[in-house]
A and B are shown apart, each in its own frame.
Chain A
Amino acid sequence: MSTRQLKIALLGNPNSGKTSIFNALTGLRYTTANYPGVTVEKKTGYLAVEGAKEKIAVLDLPGTYSLVPRSLDEEIVHDILLGFRLDTETPDLLVIVMDATNLERNLYLAIQVLETGLPAIFVLNMWDLAKSNGITIDLKKLESWTGAACVATAASKNQGIRELKHLINKRLKDLSTTPHKPIPALQIPAVLEQEVSEVGKLLEPVLTNRKEAARGEALRLIGDIGMSSPFYRVETVSAKLRKQVVECRKRLDAAGIEWDVVENECRYRQIETICRDVVHFQTSEKFTVSERMDQILTHRVWGLLFFMAIMGVIFQSIFTWAEFPMKALESAIKNLGSFTGGILPAGQLNSLVVDGMIAGVGNVVVFLPQIFLLFFFIALLEDFGYMARAAFVLDRIMKKVGLNGKAFLPLLSSFACAVPGVMATRTIENRSDRLATILVAPLMSCSARLPVYALMIGAFIPAGRFYGVFSYKAVTLFSLYFLSLLTGLGMAALFRRTLLKGNQTPFIFELPPYRLPNIKSVLRTMWDRGKEFIYRAGTIIFFISVILWFLASYPKDPAVEKNYQAQRQQLSVTLTGDALKTELANLERTVSGDRLKISFAGRLGQAIEPVIEPLGFNWKIGIGLIASFAAREVLVSTLAIVYNIGQDADEKNVDLISALQAEKDPVTGKPAYSPLVAISLMVFFVLACQCMSTLAIVRRETNTWGWPLFMFTYMTILAWVGSFLVYQGGRLLGF
């Protein structure tokens, strides 16, 4: 025997419980990465067997319905099984996971895969559910029909896992002595058989070590009406293949054979023959639990109410539960900053590490509790089976703006934070739908905008009430959220009608039975996704933080620095104790304000004043806009520095609010900020893409800088136009 490491791969339909089987086989010890060049998750682990000498690698392939790929996920599976992907070796043994309650449809893929000639085991999962639904499956007979050894499992209850591991080991050991028993060939018309073998010959140079897969593949290439199979893109054979297939289709048309239907129908005939012998139903009239839940959860009234209620609960808990860890993280980052500041020698390196790296990355880290909580709820609802119901209930609404039901959740998550929102778009198969959803996700009013709203509303929106009921402040806040939703959906509709017209892929999805979520795997999923954000976006965020620090710290004016040193000296001579401390702090605040104003960021803020003047903003806000690119809430601390209040001020700081209210226009002498300016600024923040984390994650999810740049550009233009209309319109109306 060779010492080469043995590899098995799990595959199956979506919702077959494949992930639960994978978790059970690997004991939740696995790593996730992406397949090179695409954002399809690649999960690998090792089979957890007590006392085993050699390690067996387990690969979890994406869920798929057939070997005719219709999405990136399905293409990966297709390519790996046919030995067509250079980065992933063909597995030694396949573990095909099937939903036992639903054997017919699951067998469709399973038999296609068996026909490729790879040795395989059938796992009939959800055996418990099938039993309670009155379904019995004769595993011995199924094995003799298909040639694949079968095992029954209920992964959610950890039943049958030991037997499965045993079977895997046994099969891997006797692979060389007991070769795979091939499944009887699919019966197809003789004329077609002839054409299939002709097309199959063309495939042989590409299927170098998987020649037995040629027949099935040729049959599917003939049936693939849009010629979207990866084989049509292989340069060496593409032209010949296309020509051959087009001609053979003509001959088949003449012979009266529906070449696009024939595999589907012949295979289901084959499956029905097998199932008549293997599956026995004991029809029961009673509704299953899932059925009864669906009568409420997808009901035209209760379904919608339930959806709103569950989202309300999620948002409430995100904001209340996340508050404490966020506060804790904030002070931990501050402490880390002052601790590091204390051990590093004073100077530029100190400032780079403390104000640049720690503070910059800290701005993002603070949001991790919210991001993790959102990932938790998304994974929980997915595991429970509710996601498909939410998509079902909301599809009609989303269709109006050219999106589909699956876009609702990512957009809703984005009201807390666009990062998990953008990552949640992975469930949307259609590329155009997904891109449109990603592009508008950051328009949803996320929680980082709240400090900005709070500051502006607190300082400038009067305390009165409309009709004595609705407070001006509350109405303003509500309108901002409404504006964000309206613009988001409007832009989605616009993108789908112009830039992302794309192909209209159908919105077809399964509504799987509800299951009790497995809390361990939910937590693991949350952790995986959170970690992915930290790793993948982390480096980009780090570099942008350093750049922003540089812009805010350089160049330095020697005169200012000298003056600062001189004043410090003087204070320490004339004052002592607390009085000295206070005065030094005052001096520090004034100097940091001065430093910012002469820095690149400060100059940039002043330079863009002509551009932002029509929006009612002066250069001080300009500096804030530049700095808040790191994260929106940085506007508050930046304004505090500009107004010499110190960077520790938050949105409720009285000094900052009164400084803003006292600011005078240098020309007219009137207050520089009116309620109108405040509204204009808030509208700008609703619409602008002031968030490096979002841009970093969009870069990761789309694999190009083009989309994040486009996103930044269109949102900035949108923000400018929006603020311009508000400010100039407001002035025309006499505000």
Chain B
Amino acid sequence: MINTQYIALSELKVNESGIIRDYRSKGPVPYRLRELGLVRGTRVLVKRFAPFEDPIELAVRGYSLSLRKEDAAHILVSRL
């Protein structure tokens, strides 16, 4: 269920964190992200943006992950 209060992960600002609520799409990208630990209920922190604002560096489950904004846009989070 997509709640209207949820925002795309790509909308979080630096040093903001959120809880993953859902994915907007199905397919190999969300699947791989979930395998890497980004399942519903997981807390993520936006550490920084690369020099041209893309990709994003996330802290999740104790490690750092880089993903492009276009992929982050498919992840819905609730801001913490």
Interface residues in chain A, defined as those with a beta carbon under 8 Å from any beta carbon in chain B? 65-66, 68, 70, 99, 101-105, 108, 135, 223-226, 228, 260-261, 264-265, 268, 294, 298-301, 303-304, 388, 391-393, 395-397, 399, 405, 505-512
Contacts and interface: CB of A to CB of B under 8 A. Distances in A.
A396 B55 contact: yes
A264 B29 CA distance: 13
Contact of A508 (B27, B50, B52, B66): B66
Contacts of B35: 65-66, 68, 108, 264
17 contacts: A101-B63, A102-B63, A108-B37, A225-B27, A225-B28, A260-B26, A261-B39, A264-B35, A268-B34, A304-B51, A391-B66, A395-B55, A396-B54, A505-B28, A508-B65, A508-B67, A510-B65
Nearest to B70: A506
A506 B34 CA distance: 13
B50 A396 contact: yes
Contacts of A405: 55
B70 to A, nearest CB: 9
B61 A395 contact: no
B48 A508 contact: no
Contact of B31 (A68, A135, A391, A512): A68
Contacts of B49: 300
4 nearest interchain CB pairs?
A396-B52, A264-B34, A511-B64, A300-B51
A499 to B, nearest CB: 22
B61 to A, nearest CB: 5
Contact of B61 (A104, A298, A304, A391): A104
A221 to B, nearest CB: 13
A68 B34 CA distance: 12
Nearest to A100: B62
A104 B63 CA distance: 10
Contacts of A108: 35-37
Nearest to A67: B35
Interface residues of B, number: 33
A519 to B, nearest CB: 26
Contacts of A70: 28, 32
Of residues B32, B42, B66, which shows the largest number of chain A Cβ atoms within 10 Å of its Cβ?
A: B66
B13 interface: no
Given A104-B61, A223-B31, A508 B51 contact: no
B50 A392 contact: yes
A392 B55 contact: yes
B40 to A, nearest CB: 7
Contact of B36 (A65, A101, A397, A507): A65
Contacts of A260: 26, 31
Given A225-B26, A510-B65, 11 more contacts: A70-B32, A101-B62, A104-B37, A104-B62, A228-B28, A265-B39, A399-B68, A506-B67, A508-B29, A510-B63, A510-B64
Interface in B12-54: 26-29, 31-37, 39-40, 42, 47-54
